[in-house]
Amino acid sequence: MIAELVLRNVLHRPIRTAISVLAVGVEVMLVVIVVGLTSGLLQDTAKRVEGVGADIMLQPPSASVFMAFSGAPMPITIKDKLREMEHIQAVAPVLLQFNSGGLEIVYGIDPKTFAEVSGGFVFHEGGELAGPHDILVDDWYAKAKKVKAGDTIKLFEQNFRIAGVVEHGKGARLFVPLETLQDLSGSRDKASVFFIKLDDPENTQMVMDAMRQPFPRHEIRPLKDFLSLMTSSNLPGLDAFINSMIAIAVTIGFLVIFLSMYTTIIERTREIGVLKSLGASKTYIARAILSESTLVCVGGIVVGIALSFLTKRAMIGMFPTLTILITAEWIFRAAAIAIVGGLLGASYPAWLATRKDPIEALAYE
């Protein structure tokens, strides 16, 4: 009987129910998309950095594991000191520059040393960097921007000729000559990171220990474990941002359910009086209110999951190089957050319903 009562009450006010379901759906979608966007960005960045093929990465002191926060550039002469160390086979200095116009990191590379470390690019079109204003783009970027070898693109207020389109997965999506990026960024003879290739990966820990003597304050990281380092807890402020967005989503769901259920209780004062006069207990009435809230939340969860995938599709349509990682784990977490928020929002209205006097409720107009 209670199931039928709950269903009829939900369907009795379709517009209010639809708004409540949509609000819970937005709550779920916010959680899933925010986490999916950050997780996808971190995973994609980590895989591309690992794809460089280096064994060790040397960064400036206090540099973040996230390449966009690489810290102040280092003197490029560090490369010579590294090459003198035992078991180091090749060193590739790379200057990083964030392109705010396209939301990506540009690598300034020396083609020769970068090829020694990475094994060289796989070209889909065109060839190597030949001039100071040449640029290499990966195949994902070329597809997203609808460009090809020989075209001209604008970057850092400069025109660059696309010398070649390369296979994605080796650090960045855009590569320009190291000296060109040094001039454009005012970092002459500087590098943001040194990628180091060893004669044998088994010597990684030994070489890292040796590197800490001449570079005690620098960040020295093994590339084989880079994916495990790319977590929100290792990035400044990212955990706080995710938690803030989740808190906002929970607040939305809580307030909508609270307002909907509170209004419902006011409107159903006489109905509650009838139920109590027929012997309905406080527990029965509270269960009915909380069950109604749960049903609305379940509907919102279904809508939220659908909105998440639609939003993902729309965002990737606008930014094809974007990676949004929607996982079953965070779908379940978002669903749990929505249910808890909804039950909290319905708790006071449910308590209020159980407190109503049946005589006064029957006399309510």
DSSP string for residues in 30-94: HHHHHHHHHHHHHHHHHHHHHTT--SEEEE-TT--SSGGG--S-EETTHHHHHHTSTTEEEEEEE
What pLDDT is stored for residue 278 in this prediction?
56
The predicted structure's pLDDT at residue 363:
46
User: What's the pLDDT at 50?
Assistant: 80
Instruction: Report how far residue 161's alpha carbon sits from residue 148's, in angstroms, rounded to the nearest whole number.
Output: 10
Q: Are residues 23 and 119 in the same domain?
A: no
Instruction: Give the up-direction half-sphere exposure of residue 95: CA atoms within 13 A in the CB hemisphere.
Output: 24
**Pair (68, 129) in one structural domain:** yes
Joined tokens for residue 47: 């895989």
Q: Is residue 225 part of a domain?
A: no
- Judge if 33 and 95 occupy the same domain: no
Is 232 within the bounds of a domain? no
Q: Which amino acid is at 279?
A: G
Which pair of structure tokens corresponds to residue 114?
């970068």
Give the 3-state secondary structure of 158-197. Answer: EEEEEEEEECCCCCCCEEEEHHHHHHHHCCCCEECEEEEE
Asked whether residue 8 falls in the same domain as residue 153, the answer is: no
Distance CA 215, CA 237 (A): 27
Instruction: Note whether residue 315 is domain-resident.
Output: yes
* DSSP 8-state secondary structure symbol assigned to residue 149: T
**Is there a single domain that holds both residue 205 and residue 69?**
yes
Asked if the structure places residue 302 within a domain, the reply is yes
Name the residue type at position 215: F
Q: Are both 71 and 196 inside the same structural domain?
A: yes
Give 190's Cβ-side CA count (13 Å radius): 18
CA distance 297 to 293: 6
pLDDT at 114: 93
Whether residue 196 lies inside any domain: the answer is: yes
Shared-domain flag, residues 81 and 205? yes
- Domain of residue 151 covers 61-217
Please give the pLDDT value at position 6.
53
- The gap from C-alpha 264 to its chain's centroid, in whole angstroms, comes to 38
In a domain, 323, yes or no: yes
From first CA to last CA, the distance across the chain in angstroms is 26
Would strands 134-138 and 158-166 be described as parallel, antiparallel, or unpaired?
parallel
Amino acid at 37: L
Total domain count, the chain: 2
According to the model, what pLDDT value does residue 362 have?
A: 45
Name the DSSP class of 205: H
User: Quick one: pLDDT at residue 350?
Assistant: 65
212 with 266, same domain: the answer is no
Name the token pair of 45.
């960045």
| pLDDT attached to residue 339 | 84
- Residue 349: enclosing H or E segment and its boundaries? helix 328-354
Asked if 170 and 198 sit in the same domain, the reply is yes
Amino acid at 359: I
DSSP helix/strand/coil, 246: helix
b (16+ CB within 10 A) / e for 216-250: eebbbbbbeebeebbebeebeebeeebeebbeebb
Cβ-contact 183, 41 below 8 angstroms: no
Q: Which of 228, 259, 300 is nearest to 23 (CA)?
A: 300
Contact between 158 and 132 (Cβ < 8 Å) = no
Q: Is residue 137 part of a domain?
A: yes
What span, in angstroms and rounded, lies between the C-alpha atoms of 356 and 365? 14
Number of neighbouring beta carbons within 10 Å of residue 42: 22
Domain endpoint, select from 150, 185, 217: 217
Q: Specify whether 30 is located in the same domain as 115.
A: no
Cα–Cα dist 173/109, whole Å: 12
User: Looking at the structure, do residues 270 and 344 belong to the same domain, yes or no?
Assistant: yes
Residues 199 and 122 in one domain: yes
Chunked into runs of 10 residues, the chain (365 residues) has average pLDDT values of 55 71 86 85 79 88 67 86 90 86 80 91 91 91 88 88 91 91 88 92 90 90 72 61 79 76 63 58 69 81 92 83 84 87 74 58 46
Cα(22)–Cα(230) distance, integer angstroms: 34
pLDDT at residue 306, as a whole number: 94
* In a domain? residue 55: no
The tens digit of pLDDT for each residue in 15-71 reads 777 778 888 888 889 889 988 888 787 777 778 888 888 899 898 887 766 665 566
